[in-house]
Amino acid sequence: MAFADVRVCEARIELGHLNQALASCNSALKTFTASNFADETKETQGLLARIQLAQGHPERALATLNVVLDHNGDDMQPRRVASLYEWRASTNGALHNYRDAYNDLNEYVRRYTLSNDADRTRQAAALRARFETDREIERNALLKRELDVAQEQSQRQAQQLRWNAFAAASGVAVIALLAYFLISNLRFRQELVRLARQDGLTGLPNRRRTVELATVALESAIANDLPLTIAIIDMDHFKFINDRCGHATGDHVLKEFSRISRETLRDPDVLGRWGGEEFLLIMPNADLEVAMATLERLRTRVFGIRLPSSGAGLRVSLSAGLALHGKHVRSLDEFIARADSALYVAKNEGRDLVRVSDENFLTSSGIRRATRQ
Ligand code: GH3
Ligand code: MG
Ligand code: MG
């Protein structure tokens, strides 16, 4: 209420309603004084001085203003002080105290400038603060936008990484699958090749493979002018062994023979299953003497193959026909045929024998001796 009274008082002074203004200011002054509102009290007293001056009591007005400005206005808000000096200048002017009036007017101008400067500084500071705030807000918005973009980018990268990992894993899986198929296929092919070349019972090269190996051996012997001897080996009375001891025993004998051959033969020698209980032995770089010795070793070892009790009185033996490569051999077939005919002789002469094809026999005295023994 007191604050309203002050404003009303001020308005009434402006309108020239001095008595009413006086009533409002006195009412306000009473409240401010009672409440110890020093600043407001002095402002109200300043207004009372204006009323006193307007009512033609400059001495009272001066006394009042002197009280208000007892600390040169240093105990008041600066913006209120300038106008107090202005009124005191007017009061002093009315009292013809021109010197004091002049001083007050100077003080008024100084205070006014000071308060104006302070206001401007305050406004500038407020403006600067607002700018700073706006700039901070803008920077925050920018940072947020950058953060959003970075987040979006990292999400995209994570997604891309997931895709890459998935693609790499799929690639690895496909490669592993392909490798598996490739290896399986390779193994399957190797197995097929093995089956196509190997005899299932004895593990020896089968007839087809034996022909290939014999062909290579013959070509090499011709090309390098080296000796080559072959032998057709046939189990004696094998049908009889089968009949007496059973087919399984016959199989066992054939497998035993292939095992013995592996232990007995020289490195370059190759034994192939020619068919049934017949075998073709290829002996590269072996003349008839070496070949005879090899056959003799085989023959002796085979003789030691044991048969079950059902075969009591039976012995495993072999007969063999030998042929040595020479001028008279024109083809592998002919070569084998010569060995075959020597085998025929061995069978005819009583079995468990090694015989040499005619031409070779005639040309080798050493063999003559060997076969006689
Ligand atoms: P020879 O002394 O005249 O050669 O008489 P042999 O009984 O050995 O000859 P033959 O040709 O009359 O009989 C060969 C026998 O070999 C007949 C066949 O059943 C047997 N045979 C052929 N292949 C196999 C085989 O893989 N396993 C067994 N157990 N027997 C076989
Ligand atoms: Mg036979
Ligand atoms: Mg036989």
Ligand 2 centroid distance, CA of 293 (Å): 23
Residue 87 sits in the same domain as residue 109: yes
pLDDT (tens, 9 = 90+) of the chain, 373 residues, equals 889 899 989 999 999 999 999 999 999 999 999 999 988 999 899 999 999 999 999 999 999 999 999 998 888 887 788 888 988 999 999 999 989 988 998 988 888 888 777 777 788 788 788 878 888 989 999 999 999 999 999 999 999 999 999 999 999 999 999 999 999 999 999 988 888 999 999 999 999 999 999 999 999 999 999 999 999 999 999 999 999 999 999 999 999 999 999 999 999 999 999 999 999 999 999 999 999 999 999 999 999 999 999 999 999 999 999 999 987 778 999 999 999 999 999 999 999 999 999 776 544 444 444 444 4
- Flag whether 143 is in a domain: no
- Flag whether 121 is in a domain: no
Ligand 2 centroid distance, CA of 234 (Å): 5
Q: How many residues in total does the chain contain?
A: 373
| CA 282 to each of CA 16, 174, 266: distance values in angstroms, whole numbers, following the listed order | 151, 48, 11
Ligand 1 in reach of 208 Cβ (< 6 A): no
Ligand 1 in reach of 352 Cβ (< 6 A): no
Give, using CA atoms, the residue closest to atom 27 of ligand 1. 251
Strand-pairing partners, residue 355, are 321
Residue 365 sits in the same domain as residue 267: yes
Between the CA atoms of 86, 89, 93 and 97, what dihedral angle is there, to the nearest 10 degrees?
Answer: 180
Is the entire prediction scored with pTM above 0.75? no
Of 115, 130, 148, the residue that ends a domain is: 115
The pLDDT value recorded for residue 361 is: 52
Residues 6+ away with beta carbon under 8 Å from 315: 303, 307
Residue 95 sits in the same domain as residue 53: yes
Spatial strand order in the sheet of 278-284: 270-275, 278-284, 228-235, 318-324, 354-356
Ligand 1 in reach of 250 Cβ (< 6 A): yes
Ligand 1 in reach of 43 Cβ (< 6 A): no
The pLDDT value recorded for residue 112 is: 85
Residue 255 sits in the same domain as residue 345: yes
Rounded CA gap, 269 and 294, in Å? Answer: 10
Ligand 1 centroid distance, CA of 239 (Å): 4
Give residue 232's domain range: 207-372
Ligand 1 in reach of 236 Cβ (< 6 A): yes
Residue 242 sits in the same domain as residue 111: no
Rounded CA gap, 134 and 162, in Å? Answer: 41
Number of domains in the chain: 3
Residue 295 sits in the same domain as residue 362: yes
- Flag whether 141 is in a domain: no
| Atom nearest to 242 CA in ligand 1 | 29
- Least Cα distance to 281 among 301, 259, 265 occurs for 265
Residue 190 sits in the same domain as residue 211: no
Give, using CA atoms, the residue closest to atom 4 of ligand 1. 236
- Flag whether 96 is in a domain: yes
Pocket perturbation via mutation, ligand 1, pick of 199, 233, 242 by most ligand atoms within 8 A of CB: 242
- Least Cα distance to 255 among 294, 302, 209 occurs for 302
The pLDDT value recorded for residue 364 is: 42
Total Cβ atoms within 10 A of residue 70:
11
Contact 316, 305 (CB under 8 A): yes
Ligand 1 in reach of 368 Cβ (< 6 A): no
Ligand 1 in reach of 275 Cβ (< 6 A): no
The pLDDT value recorded for residue 119 is: 76
- Flag whether 138 is in a domain: no
Rounded CA gap, 38 and 339, in Å? Answer: 148
- Flag whether 55 is in a domain: yes
| Atom nearest to 248 CA in ligand 1 | 29
Q: Which two tokens stand for residue 324?
A: 């040595």
The pLDDT value recorded for residue 373 is: 41
3-state secondary structure 26-43: HHHHHHHHHHCCHHHHHH
| CA 370 to each of CA 42, 71, 249, 366: distance values in angstroms, whole numbers, following the listed order | 157, 156, 32, 6
Residue 184 sits in the same domain as residue 237: no
Residue 101 sits in the same domain as residue 239: no
Of 115, 145, 180, the residue that ends a domain is: 115
Which CATH number do you get for residue 31? 1.25.40.10
Ligand 1 in reach of 201 Cβ (< 6 A): yes
Residue 176 sits in the same domain as residue 237: no
Ligand 1 in reach of 347 Cβ (< 6 A): yes
The pLDDT value recorded for residue 65 is: 92
Pocket perturbation via mutation, ligand 1, pick of 199, 238, 273 by most ligand atoms within 8 A of CB: 238
Rounded CA gap, 213 and 229, in Å? Answer: 13
Rounded CA gap, 207 and 204, in Å? Answer: 9
Which CATH number do you get for residue 251? 3.30.70.270
Which protein residues have their CB within 5 A of the ion that is ligand 3?
234-235, 238
